[in-house]
């Protein structure tokens, strides 16, 4: 079956096109999903459309940690049981999921919304670093865990933050080695990530 086969109905072609633009979905998967939805009951397809609409309409960024949330502040920042003196710095909201899954981390987060990547024209000013510094300057934080991804941009970003935060006299740690270099936090398994958290080292 050729992937550039033209479906007979325009809406089918349109859905294939939209799905194909999503990350990780090639033309074959886009076709398969489209025909699956075509066969599915109308309520199923409507529930999917409604779920997509809801994330766009109801989810925004927490004003404190900049994580995705449907309440303000987010459930993590609001949680009195959590350790408000520790902040774990991550690249993207999705990176919080694997860390929460370990159930080993009880502190708060800060989402940078990117990494320093000169090749893509992304400098420190494009990241939410100002917001992090004002949280640290408020005075109640005693440890910052740098949990950017273990790759070139992640390391460069961690080093940049290290230079900024060191003068503040706050304990600064980096997730332990053992996370596969070049990999994403997002794909780390629970055990590896738990170990990396427990074995975090001062920088």
Burial category of 69 from C-beta neighbours within 10 Å (exposed 0-12, middle 13-18, buried 19 and up) = buried
For residue 111, the minimal CB distance to Zn ion (Å) is 9
Task: Note every long-range contact of 4-13, with CB atoms under 8 Å and residues 24 or more positions apart, other chains counting.
Answer: 12/38
Minimum CB separation from Zn ion for residue 57, in Å? 19
Applying CB under 5 A, the residues found at the interface with Zn ion are 62, 64-65, 67, 73-74, 77
CA proximity to 90, closest of 169, 164, 144: 144
Closest CA to 197 of 109, 104, 91, 107: 104
Tokens of 101: 């899954």
In the complex, what is the shortest distance from the CB of residue 78 to Zn ion, in angstroms, rounded to a whole number? 8
Of residues 73 and 124, the one with the C-beta less far from Zn ion:
73
Report the residue number, 15 or 141, with the smaller CB distance to Zn ion: 141
Give 109 or 160: the residue with its C-beta nearer to Zn ion: 109
3-class secondary-structure state, position 9: coil
Q: In what order do the strands lie in the sheet with 201-202?
A: 107-111, 83-90, 143-146, 171-174, 201-202
Bridge partners of residue 194, in order along the sequence: none
Beta bridge partners, 108, equal 87
Output the smallest distance, CB 195 to Zn ion, in A.
Answer: 26
Residue closer to Zn ion by CB (options 19, 65) is 65
**Distance of closest approach, residue 84 Cβ to Zn ion, in angstroms:** 11
Nearer to Zn ion, 16 or 64 (CB): 64
């Amino acid at each position: 079956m050729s992937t550039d086969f033209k479906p007979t109905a325009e809406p089918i072609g349109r859905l294939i096109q939209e799905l194909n633009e999503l990350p990780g979905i090639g033309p074959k998967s886009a076709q398969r999903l489209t025909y699956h939805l075509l066969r599915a009951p109308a309520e199923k397809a409507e529930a999917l459309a409604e779920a997509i609409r809801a994330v766009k309409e109801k989810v925004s960024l927490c004003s404190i940690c900049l994580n995705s949330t449907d309440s303000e502040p987010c459930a993590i920042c609001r949680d009195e049981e959590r350790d408000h003196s520790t902040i774990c710095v991550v690249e993207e909201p999705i990176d919080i999921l694997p860390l929460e899954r370990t159930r080993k981390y009880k502190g708060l987060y800060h989402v940078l919304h990117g990494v320093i990547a000169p090749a893509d024209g992304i400098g420190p000013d494009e990241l939410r670093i100002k917001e992090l510094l004002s949280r640290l300057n408020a005075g109640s934080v005693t440890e910052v865990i740098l949990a950017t991804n273990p790759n070139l941009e992640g390391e460069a970003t961690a080093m940049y933050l290290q230079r900024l935060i060191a003068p503040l006299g706050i304990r600064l740690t980096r997730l332990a080695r053992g996370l596969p270099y070049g990999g994403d936090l997002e794909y780390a398994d629970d055990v590896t990530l738990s170990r990396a958290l427990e074995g975090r080292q001062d920088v």
